[in-house]
Chain A
Amino acid sequence: MIVIDQLSKVFKTNEHELKAVDDLSLSIEKGEIFGVIGYSGAGKSTFIRLINRLEEPTSGTVEIEGQNITSLSKHELRVKRQEIGMIFQHFNLLWSRTVEENIAFPLEIAGTSKAEIQTRVQELIDLVGLTGKEKNYPSQLSGGQKQRVGIARALANKPKVLLCDEATSALDPETTDSILALLVDINEKLGLTIILITHEMHVIQKICHNVAVMEAGRVVEQGNVLEVFSHPKKPVTKKFVEQVMGKPDEELTDDVLIEHISDGHVLKLTFVKETANQAIISEVAKHYDVDINIIQGNIKQTQEGAYGSLYVKMTGDLPAVEQAIQFIRSTSVDVEVITHG
């Protein structure tokens, strides 16, 4: 468990003061993937650097599993950092070292024996899927492969926490997805706590359990990913939700829907935490004497289930339709009747 309490970082330039991180408090559960999202300049990059003290906090504390990081001496901090892995937007590999030598570097720093380094490096190379690339130099790798080296390197000393600083922002969408899948994989396999910062809503939606939205150095909204993004409160959160769900005005408004659909009942089904396995639509069609026509919808999968909405047109006898609606309401899907035909 990581507890961040009233953490602040103030950058002072001549006569100017910039509060990059402003009185920020958070708690992150052991083994979860915690996302921090914000636009550039929101202070998220400074925030993640405060956790392993690449930036020294101006005030406040960071506690990792009961140990206060902020009060450690320089030497203690160096040893502690070996337990905190970090990956970067631009990978930050040593170009003069091969893949295996790059991964061995943190082990050399920790004073691991040569024989142990060899077996551990091979384990890690297999874990991140770089088998066969051991002797390659970073310049011979693609961006995704470089980030895999970065991940292997960050995991070398068996850390309890992995910090990801915009780890997928320099990658194309397809590679981003494969790196995100790898992060989920190691999160599950190793029980590692992952803290990631990003400006891409897609990343949060795909892999995070909990999220904090940052703006001007403060957390403006936080909680379970599904909850924050199905009921965004702050304008900045709404904007991020639009990144993946599209703008609300891109959907047909209810009025337009009614105008175009003369018969049947138009329903809006809202999915929150609905598991994709439940085949609601087909079940309704099978068990009730109604026809269902999907008009439009937008549903995204997250770590905790699906969320989004679906507009359907239901035709049939009124009692049958009402029974069907009753049934859907008995599941976790929310039904809003837009129009009765």
Chain B
Amino acid sequence: MANLFPNIDWMDLLWATGETLYMTLVALIGTLILGTILGLFIYLSAPGNLWDNKIVYSITAGFVNIFRAIPFIILIFLILPLTVFLFGTFRGPTAALPALILGSAPFYGRLVEIALREVDHGVIEAAKAMGAKTSTIIFKVLLKESMPALVSGLTVTAIALIGYTAVAGSIGAGGLGDYAYFYGFTRRDMDIVYVCTLLIVLIVFIFQFIGDVITKKIDKR
């Protein structure tokens, strides 16, 4: 092993993997919450839907469109002042979280909206005819019925997030991207780059596998 990858400090690698997982999972939770709220607002305020409201629709849809349009590397620089204000620094995995969440939540929000739109309108009408409150329709009909699409959307988002953590790594966020860039690429120790790549691919596969298993289990259609 030492001959194959002469430049690797295995403890550093383990630490970097831990940082990547930490950033991905925490950002994924933030993305899930913010993205679901964004998706719900866009869906509900859309013309003809439960909270038909042009102003709310324009604001949420506009927010999502703008943040999805900004390339992630630029988004990191753009919100630097916010990051520094919140954490006192822009280095380290925790400082990367606001950018990660802002970068992926609008993306997930769109996926949530698409998933909700797929819910059969007749089922919503049936719930209304039973005298359901809007909150009941949201939690027991809309979110429940679109669950497989929400989970597979979250899987796609998680994988995009792993990519984002590597981008954030190149400006010092930590994690495997950081390790591969500063310790591997800049020193021309390519074995480090290869190992980091392998690990990232492995993490992506594991996320995809977990996502597929859950989707399959909850899909009763």
A105-B140 in contact (CB<8A) = yes
Known: A137-B220, A139-B220. A94 touches B141 (CB 8 A): yes
B221-A88 in contact (CB<8A) = no
Q: Is A81 in the interface zone, CB < 8 Å from B?
A: yes
Write out the residue numbers on chain A whose beta carbons fall within 8 Å of the beta carbon of B88. none
| CB < 8 Å neighbour of A109 from B132, B147, B221 | B132
Q: Would you give the shortest CB distance from B190 to chain A, in whole angstroms? A: 49
State A90–B123 Cα separation when bound (angstroms).
9
Give the nearest-CB partner of B123 in chain A: A92
A78-B133 in contact (CB<8A) = yes
Within 8 A of B (CB), among A86-118: 86, 88, 90, 92-97, 105-106, 108-110
Q: Mark B165-190, 1 if CB is under 8 A from A, else 0.
A: 00000000000000000000000000
Write out the residue numbers on chain B whose beta carbons fall within 8 Å of the beta carbon of A93. 123, 126
Q: Is B145 in the interface zone, CB < 8 Å from A?
A: yes
Most buried by A among B132, B145, B147: B132
A92-B221 in contact (CB<8A) = no
B129-A54 in contact (CB<8A) = yes
Q: Is B48 in the interface zone, CB < 8 Å from A?
A: no
Give the nearest-CB partner of A139 in chain B: B221
Q: Is A82 in the interface zone, CB < 8 Å from B?
A: yes
B131-A109 in contact (CB<8A) = yes
Write out the residue numbers on chain B whose beta carbons fall within 8 Å of the beta carbon of A138. 220
DSSP majority for the A interface?
mixed
| CB < 8 Å neighbour of B220 from A77, A78, A96, A153 | A96
Give the nearest-CB partner of B129 in chain A: A86
Q: Mark A62-85, 1 if CB is under 8 A from B, else 0.
A: 000000000000000111111010
Q: Is A52 in the interface zone, CB < 8 Å from B?
A: yes
Q: Mark B42-84, 1 if CB is under 8 A from A, else 0.
A: 0000000000000000000000000000000000000000000
Q: Mark B128-140, 1 if CB is under 8 A from A, else 0.
A: 1111110010001
Q: Mark A184-207, 1 if CB is under 8 A from B, else 0.
A: 000000000000000000000000
Interface residues of A (CB under 8 A from B): 52, 54, 77-82, 84, 86, 88, 90, 92-97, 105-106, 108-110, 137-139, 153, 157, 163
A-B contact sample (14 more), CB < 8 A, given A90-B122, A109-B127: A52-B129, A54-B128, A54-B129, A79-B131, A88-B122, A92-B126, A93-B126, A94-B144, A95-B220, A96-B220, A105-B127, A108-B136, A139-B221, A157-B130
Question: Can you spell out 16 A-B residue pairs with CB atoms less than 8 angstroms apart?
Answer: A81-B128, A81-B130, A84-B129, A88-B125, A90-B122, A94-B144, A94-B145, A95-B220, A96-B220, A97-B144, A105-B127, A105-B130, A109-B131, A109-B132, A109-B133, A109-B136
